[in-house]
Amino acid sequence: MQSENRFFDDLAKLVNGAAGTVAGMSREFEANAREKAREWMGGADFVSREEFDAVKALAASARAKRSNCSRRASTRWKERPPNLSRKASRRPSPSPARWTDPVCPFILHGVKARR
């Protein structure tokens, strides 16, 4: 035999409605939090992955060029002529076109280092 009690029916409807309301509020809170996070991330100065990879490749290329130039500089340093005394006859300085290396412009030829 089944009894009909309106109190329990109303209580079940009330709890079911409250659960639906809480679920809707949590979805709305999550959507608002995502939107705020997007606004914050968009306002920050972050770079995209493509930009990062491009700059990373540029840096690797620059490191390789620097390594090549330093290797050339060390070989040029080993091949330098012996130091001449100040009393030795002065020879004309080389033309400015020969002062720099065409590949590594920071390698100077014919310029004495100051101590």
∠ CA 64-62-79 to the nearest 5 degrees?
Answer: 55
With residues binned 3-state (H G I as helix, E B as strand, rest as coil), the percentages for the chain, rounded to 5, are: 60, 0, 35
pLDDT of 1 over the 50 cut: no
Q: How far is CA 103 from CA 29, 67, 72, 79, in A?
A: 61, 12, 9, 17
Tens digits of residue pLDDT in 90-103: 555 555 545 555 55
Residue whose C-alpha is closest to residue 97's, from 82, 86, 88, 108: 108
Is-above-0.85 flag for pTM?
Answer: no
Report the pLDDT value the prediction gives residue 79, as an integer from 0 to 100.
73
